[in-house]
Amino acid sequence: MEMKIAVSNLSKRFGKKQALDNINLEIDSGMFGLLGRNGAGKTTFMRILATFIIKNRRFNTYVWSSY
């Protein structure tokens, strides 16, 4: 079974700070890296993704929008 993650229009704000702004991407199975400078939203993105996977317990495709 091939794993794929798709994210559409993902945004996250902490008060006045926009951590993620309209993120759209697809990740195919295999290894990947998430790069960015300090404060770019890498950890926020991974926490949202991990929370979504745990809550939904589906293991083929994840698609959501406007977190």
- Report DSSP letters for 4-63, one per residue: EEEEEEEEEEETTEEEEEEEEEEEESS-------TTSSHHHHHHHHHHHHHHH---SEE-
pLDDT at 56: 53
pLDDT at 60: 44
Average pLDDT rounded to a whole number, residues 18-32: 84
Contact 45, 64 (CB under 8 A): no
pLDDT tens, residue by residue, 26-56: 887 777 788 999 989 899 988 888 877 655 5
Other C-beta atoms lying within 10 Å of the C-beta of residue 19? 16
Tell me the pLDDT band of 61, cut-offs 50, 70 and 90. very low
pLDDT at 2: 67
pLDDT at 36: 92
pLDDT at 26: 85
